[in-house]
Amino acid sequence: MRWRVPRSERDFASTADVLPGGDQILVMEGTDTHMADEMLEGKRSYFYTVFAQDEQGAWHLRVKTKLEQHEHLLWHHGEAGVVEGPSPSDVGALALASYPEGLRR
């Protein structure tokens, strides 16, 4: 499974494509099961949009969430298990794990 995670201070991504000059910043793309976004500042809110790529190469929206520094995200994806986020010492991390189905934050 391949993931793409854009982040913005203004809004969620409408597409998995991060365009030059746009307000989305690509913070993760790949098959890794863990991601840390350490470029966060202060007590701002950030909009994360998580996309998963299918076998044909198309990107599909999986999660939209608004987080502040030191918050984390946990969600279930049928093919990949649960994706979860940071401990207080690891800002913005995402990791795959095996937990019951459902969305947690």
> What CA–CA distance (Å, rounded) separates 69 from 79?
28
Is the CB of residue 37 less than 8 Å from the CB of residue 92?
yes
pLDDT in tens, 16-45: 999 888 999 999 898 876 777 877 887 888
Q: How confident is the model at residue 89 (pLDDT cuts 50, 70, 90)?
A: very low
* pLDDT recorded at residue 104: 40
**Cβ neighbour number for residue 6 with a 10 Å cutoff:** 25
Is the CB of residue 48 less than 8 Å from the CB of residue 4?
no
* pLDDT recorded at residue 42: 77
* pLDDT recorded at residue 92: 37
* pLDDT recorded at residue 57: 94
Residue 97 confidence (pLDDT) above 50? no
Is the CB of residue 50 less than 8 Å from the CB of residue 104?
no
Weakest mean pLDDT among 1-10, 41-50, 72-81: 72-81
Is the CB of residue 65 less than 8 Å from the CB of residue 78?
no
**Global pTM value:** 0.72
